[in-house]
C-alpha cells in the first residue's frame, strides 16, 4: 500500500476549499502504487484522486508531469487531468507535501492481460508518443543509462545478499550497456513506466493511461522495450511471443519503428530490465519492515535481463516483417 503521508479530515476540507470540487463526503487511502500517496475522494461533485507527492518526486518536475497530462488530453489521449485551483494553480500543499487533485479515470487494470490487451497497449503507447509532439517542457530521463551507475553504487555492496554473484554480473552488464547504448534514435516524450497497473480497461477496451510521474524525453523505442518487459512475460518467467507480436503490431499500426529502432530493441529491452531491476533492488534493500508499500521483486527483472541478453533480433520478440 502506498500511503506514506496521513491526512486529517480538517486539513483535507481546508485544502478542498481552494477548488471547485464540491464538499467532502468520504476519503480513503489507495492500496496500490509505489511512489506517491494516493487517496480516493468522494465529494458532492463526484470522485477524485488526491495525490501527495513524496520525497522521490522532485517538486521542480511537477509542472512537467501535470502540464503533460493536459497536453496529452488536449491531443486526444485518454488520461486523467489535474484540476485547477480557484487561483489557477495546479498544485497545492497538504500535510507538508505538494498535492494535486486529479480527475478520476474509469476502468480497472488487468491482473492477467492477454495478447489482445497487449495490442491495445501498443497502440496507446504509440498514440501517446505522437500526442506528446509539441509539448513545450522537457525533462531528462533520470533513470536512463547515465542514471544507472549512481543507483547501482547505492546497492552494489549488498547485492550478493539477494543472489550470490550478482555484484559481478551487474557490474559487467553496466559496462556493456554504457558502451553500447544507442544515442541517436527517434525521441520525444515517453511514459517510461507503462506497466499493467498504469493502463485501465473497461472490459477489453482500453479506457486510459495513468501515472505519468516517470515521463520524460527519451527514445520512443526504449518505451516499447519497457512495455515488452512489463506486458509480455508470463508468471513462470517465459517470454510470450504472441503477446510481443501483438504489442509490436499494435504500436506499428500507429507509429512504425525504423530500422535502427528495431535493431536496437534487444539492447533497449536489456537496459529497461536493468533499470527496473536497479530501482527494485534499491527498494528491496532499503524499505524498512512494516512500511505501507508492497516491495517488488528485483529478481523478476534479473531473469528478464538474462533473457534479453540472448536475444539477437526484434523477430525474437514477435516482430513480423512488413
Ligand X SMILES: N[C@@H](CCOP(=O)(O)O)C(=O)O
Q: In 10 A of CB 267, how many CB atoms?
A: 20
| Neighbour count for residue 220 (Cβ, 10 Å) | 24
Q: Do the beta carbons of residue 226 and residue 135 sit within 8 Å?
A: no
Interface residue with ligand ADP, options 163, 197, 300, 315 (CB under 6 A): 197
Cell for 188?
Answer: 520525444
# binding residues, ligand X (CB under 6 A): 12
List alpha helices for the chain, DSSP H: 9-16, 62-74, 115-131, 145-155, 159-162, 166-180, 220-231, 241-254, 259-286, 298-309
Q: Is 263 in the site for ligand X (CB under 6 A)?
A: no
105 interacts with ligand ADP by CB under 6 A:
yes
Least distance from ligand X to the Cβ atom of residue 109, Å:
10
- The residues, any chain, with a CB within 8 Å of residue 177's CB and separated by 6 or more, are 145, 148, 267, 270, 271, 274
> For the chain, percent helix, then strand, then coil, each to nearest 5?
45, 15, 40
Q: How many CB atoms lie within 10 A of CB 270?
A: 25
Which residue lies nearest ligand X, judged by its C-beta? 34
Q: Which residue bears the cell 530521463?
A: 141
Q: x/- contact string, 26-55, with ligand X (CB under 6 A)?
A: -------xxx--------------------
DSSP 85: P
CA dihedral 83, 87, 89, 94 (to 10 degrees): -80
Site track for ligand X across 189-228, x = CB under 6 A: ----x-x-xx------------x-----------------
Q: How far apart are CA 58 and CA 280, in angstroms?
A: 19
263 binds, among ligand X, ligand ADP, none (CB under 5 to 8 A by kind): none
Region from 210-218, 233-241, 270-278, 282-290 binding ligand ADP, contact rule CB under 6 A? 210-218
Task: Report the alpha-carbon distance of residue 62 to residue 79 in Å, rounded.
Answer: 16
Q: Which does 309 bind (CB under 5 to 8 A by kind): ligand ADP, ligand X, none?
A: none
Half-sphere exposure of 49 (CA within 13 A, CB side): 22
- What minimum distance in Å lies between the beta carbon of 32 and ligand X? 7
280 binds, among ligand X, ligand ADP, none (CB under 5 to 8 A by kind): ligand X
Q: Which residue is nearest to ligand ADP, using beta carbons?
A: 33
Identify what 314 binds: ligand X, ligand ADP, none; CB under 5 to 8 Å per kind: none
Question: Taking the complex as a whole, how short is the minimal distance between the CB of residue 273 and ligand X, in angstroms?
Answer: 11
- Binding mask of the shown chain, residues 31 to 50, with x at each position contacting ligand ADP by CB under 6 A: -xxxxx-x----------x-
2 interacts with ligand ADP by CB under 6 A: yes
Q: Which is nearer to ligand ADP, 207 or 240 (CB)?
A: 207
Nearer to ligand X, 133 or 154 (CB): 154
What residue ranges bind ligand X (CB under 6 A)?
33-35, 193, 195, 197-198, 211, 276, 279-280, 296
**Where along the sequence are the contacts to ligand ADP (CB under 6 A)?**
2, 30, 32-36, 38, 49, 80, 102, 104-105, 197-198, 210-211, 213
Amino acid at each position: 500500500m502506498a500511503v506514506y503521508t496521513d491526512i486529517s479530515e480538517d486539513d483535507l476540507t481546508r485544502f478542498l476549499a481552494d477548488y471547485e470540487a464540491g464538499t467532502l463526503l468520504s476519503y480513503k487511502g489507495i492500496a496500490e502504487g509505489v511512489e506517491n500517496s494516493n487517496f480516493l475522494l468522494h465529494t458532492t461533485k463526484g470522485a477524485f484522486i488526491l495525490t501527495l507527492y513524496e520525497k522521490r518526486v522532485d517538486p521542480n518536475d511537477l509542472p512537467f508531469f501535470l502540464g503533460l497530462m493536459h497536453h496529452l488530453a488536449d491531443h486526444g489521449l485518454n488520461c486523467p487531468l489535474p484540476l485547477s485551483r480557484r487561483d489557477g494553480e495546479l498544485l497545492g500543499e497538504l500535510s507538508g507535501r505538494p498535492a494535486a487533485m486529479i480527475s478520476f479515470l474509469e476502468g480497472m487494470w488487468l491482473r492477467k492481460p492477454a495478447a489482445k490487451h497487449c495490442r491495445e497497449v501498443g497502440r496507446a503507447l504509440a498514440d501517446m508518443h505522437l500526442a506528446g509532439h509539441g509539448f513545450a517542457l522537457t525533462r531528462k530521463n533520470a533513470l536512463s543509462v547515465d542514471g544507472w551507475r549512481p543507483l547501482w553504487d547505492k546497492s552494489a555492496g549488498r547485492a550478493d545478499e539477494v543472489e550470490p554473484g550478482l555484484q559481478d554480473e551487474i557490474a559487467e552488464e553496466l559496462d556493456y550497456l554504457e558502451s553500447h547504448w544507442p544515442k541517436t534514435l527517434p525521441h520525444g516524450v515517453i511514459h517510461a513506466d507503462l506497466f499493467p497497473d498504469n493502463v485501465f480497461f473497461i472490459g477489453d477496451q482500453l479506457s486510459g493511461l495513468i501515472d505519468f510521474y516517470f515521463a520524460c524525453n527519451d527514445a520512443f523505442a526504449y518505451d516499447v522495450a519497457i512495455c515488452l518487459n512489463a506486458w509480455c512475460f508470463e508468471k513462470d518467467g517465459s517470454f510470450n511471443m504472441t503477446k510481443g507480436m501483438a504489442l509490436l503490431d499494435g504500436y506499428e499500426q500507429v507509429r512504425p519503428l525504423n530500422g535502427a529502432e528495431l535493431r536496437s530493441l534487444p539492447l533497449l529491452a536489456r537496459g529497461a530490465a536493468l533499470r527496473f531491476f536497479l530501482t527494485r533492488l534499491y527498494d528491496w534493500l532499503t524499505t524498512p519492515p512494516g512500511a505501507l508499500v508492497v516491495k517488488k521483486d528485483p529478481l523478476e527483472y534479473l531473469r528478464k535481463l538474462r533473457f534479453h541478453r540472448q536475444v539477437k533480433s526484434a523477430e525474437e520478440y514477435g516482430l513480423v516483417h512488413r
